[in-house]
Amino acid sequence: MKEEQILRAYLDAKEQYATLGIDTDKALEQLDKLPISLHCWQADDVTGFENPDGVLTGGIQTTGNYPGKARTISEVRADIDKAMGLIPGNQRVNVHAFYGDFGGQLVDRDQIEPSHFQSWIDWAKEKNYKLDFNCTCFSHDKSADGLTLSHPDPEIRNFWIEHVIRCRKIAEEMGRQLGSKCMHNIWIPDGSKDVTVNRMQYRKNLKESLDKIFEYKTNDEYMLDCIESKLFGIGAESYTVGSHEFYMGYGMKNNIVVTLDSGHYHPTEVISDKISSLLLFLPEVMLHVSRGIRWDSDHVVILNEELLAIAQEIVRADAVEKVHVGLDYFDASINRIGAYVVGVRATQKALLQALLEPIAKLREYESNGQNFERMALLEEAKSMPWGAIYNYYCAQKGVIVGEAYIADIQKYEKEVTLKR
């Protein structure tokens, strides 16, 4: 699209939104303050650099064998850089612990240190990215039986306790050096394939492990812990130790942020309905935005009804500064850079639509019992020219507008990823 076309369409859209009392410039300013955390594991199908020949475990699975998978730290970073160049605004990068820069040496999980992630920090400084972090409690010999922090063997529990404590220190150092609070997420795969008779004991073990982990006090200015539940995983179909109820209770009792993952609940259950509930009892919430099809399949995020509902709930709850948004999906069946760009742009579009919603008028209708009027305005808002606003945002940020980014990714694929 030509610059004059983009500007003309924006000015027309701005005028239309003004009739509803909405300032589009202000909406774009707010969107610019909503960074999205890109997950490094989309680039290499959750392989990591600890053991490139290792097997992905923990009840998660990537499907597909699209050519061009990143094989090294430099390739992962190059692919993320390419994706970032096609996404407007300043985003974050989310790193898992087994993506450390280990220099070809085998460094076990209970031995990792901030030095193993200094090159990530230096790269982020150079690119003006901020980092988030995750402990990696899967794809390891000591998680082979499906238990980590809840394991009945205290030696194995202590191994994972040490790992998570070290990860918290790494996250703290990332936040300190980059001047931005690093979100450190704790998810474990612990569960049982068949019916267990020891539910309480495993959860007691997990609680005690978390208590020991959080005995080490970090600086809240530099990092923030969050704890993530799951309904089930492959090999943990009958029982999950870290259920939603467990982590919700633990988080509220100990004032620790709870992570809501789009794919970690029953298929008819949505996280958009949970955000406001948690915010009444916790200061902040972490989101892992994904797209589950019939289960936690981690499909690429697209602009669907639930994604829009999540964005609307963030805005309607006045929680723009209280909710952290990260993506968590991995699709090996399509171009991986394309997967990043589609997912982030879709999330931004949902957030923009939410920011452009005539919420004052909608609430007036609702408080007056004018339910037809509320419904009608919500429906009309769907076809307002928000796309012209987003195109203008892309142009202002110097990134490709519209579907033209497809050809750019195809060019990168031909020149870079297909030669791997």
Q: Coil, strand, or helix at residue 335? A: coil
The rounded distance, in Å, linking the Cα atoms of 379 and 240 is 40
Mean pLDDT of the chain: 94
Residue 40 lies in a domain: yes
Concerning whether 261 is annotated as a catalytic residue, the answer is yes
Concerning whether 331 is annotated as a catalytic residue, the answer is no
Residue 408 lies in a domain: no
Tell me the one-letter amino acid at 36: I
pLDDT band at 220 (very low <50, low <70, confident <90, very high): very high
Concerning whether 288 is annotated as a catalytic residue, the answer is yes
Catalytic residue among 288, 299, 324, 349: 288
Catalytic residue among 96, 151, 264, 274: 264
**Helix crossing, 199-213 with 244-254: angle to 10°?**
40
Q: Give residue 274's domain range.
A: 35-357
Q: Spell 173-185 as b/e; 16+ CB within 10 A means b.
A: bbbbbbebbbbbb
Residue 99 lies in a domain: yes
Q: Residue 303's pLDDT is what?
A: 96
Other CB atoms within a 10 A radius of the CB of residue 68 amount to 18
Catalytic residue among 151, 230, 299, 349: 230
Other CB atoms within a 10 A radius of the CB of residue 361 amount to 16
User: Structure pTM?
Assistant: 0.94
Q: Residue 157's pLDDT is what?
A: 97
42-85 per-position pLDDT tens digit? 988 788 888 766 666 655 567 778 999 999 999 999 999 999 99
Concerning whether 96 is annotated as a catalytic residue, the answer is no
The rounded distance, in Å, linking the Cα atoms of 324 and 22 is 25
Concerning whether 110 is annotated as a catalytic residue, the answer is no
Residue 239 lies in a domain: yes
Concerning whether 23 is annotated as a catalytic residue, the answer is no
Q: Residue 354's pLDDT is what?
A: 98
388-407 per-position pLDDT tens digit? 999 999 999 999 999 999 99
The rounded distance, in Å, linking the Cα atoms of 3 and 173 is 42
Percent with pLDDT over 90 in the chain: 83
Q: Coil, strand, or helix at residue 374? A: helix
Residue 129 lies in a domain: yes
Catalytic residue among 79, 172, 228, 331: 228
Catalytic residue among 132, 190, 261, 313: 261
Q: CA dihedral in degrees (73, 78, 80, 85; nearest 10)?
A: 160
Residue 19 lies in a domain: no
Residue 103 lies in a domain: yes
- The CATH number linked to 60 is 3.20.20.150
Q: Coil, strand, or helix at residue 78? A: helix
Concerning whether 116 is annotated as a catalytic residue, the answer is no
Concerning whether 82 is annotated as a catalytic residue, the answer is no
Strand partners for 259: 228, 286
Nearest CA among 238, 259, 77 for reference residue 146:
238
DSSP 157-186: HHHHHHHHHHHHHHHHHHHHHHTSPEEEEE
Q: Residue 214's pLDDT is what?
A: 97
Residue appearing with tokens 């945002």: 393
Q: Residue 56's pLDDT is what?
A: 61
* Contact residues for 159 (Cβ-Cβ < 8 A; gap 6+): 109, 110, 142
Lowest mean pLDDT among 124-133, 231-240, 281-290, 311-320: 231-240
Concerning whether 25 is annotated as a catalytic residue, the answer is no
Residue 157 lies in a domain: yes
328-356 per-position pLDDT tens digit? 998 889 999 999 999 999 999 999 999 99
Q: How many domains does the chain have?
A: 1
pLDDT band at 298 (very low <50, low <70, confident <90, very high): confident
261-277 per-position pLDDT tens digit? 998 888 889 999 999 99
Catalytic residue among 172, 298, 331, 357: 298
Q: CA dihedral in degrees (241, 326, 344, 296; nearest 10)?
A: 0
Q: Are 20 and 361 contacting, i.e. CB atoms less than 8 angstroms apart?
A: yes
